[in-house]
Amino acid sequence: MADTYIIVEVAYAKPEEQVILPVKVPAGATAEQAILESGVLARFSEIDLTINKIGIFSRVCPLDQLLQQADRIEIYRPLVNDPKEARRQRANKDANA
């Protein structure tokens, strides 16, 4: 029986640069395996998989998530501002305007 492979993408975005890297991994591979195979960690030294959350098509998942053909693994940057606090500040600003 021949080895079966799937093609997935690993995506990472900074404000000034976005990359989507296609990766061929064995069927049954995990998200972490695809990330390691993609080379994105060498390209972006700020990524720390113990800190950065990941997801597949905008749904947060664990590193050991099994992949399916055509999955897109996304590596998320930490939030700079709390979204709730940002909305609160905008509402206060609008109320005082």
pLDDT digits (tens, 9 = 90+) for 3-27: 899 999 999 999 999 999 999 999 9
> In sequence order, what E strands does the chain have?
5-14, 17-26, 54-56, 59-61, 72-75
Q: What's the whole-number average pLDDT of the chain? A: 92
Give pTM, 2 decimals. 0.80
Give the count of domains, the chain. 1
Q: How far apart are CA 19 and CA 4, in angstroms?
A: 26
Query: What range defines the domain where residue 15 resides?
Result: 5-96
CATH code, domain carrying 67: 3.10.20.280
C-alpha pair distances (Å), 38 with each of 10, 12, 14, 31: 7, 11, 17, 11
C-alpha pair distances (Å), 25 with each of 43, 75, 78, 97: 19, 18, 27, 55
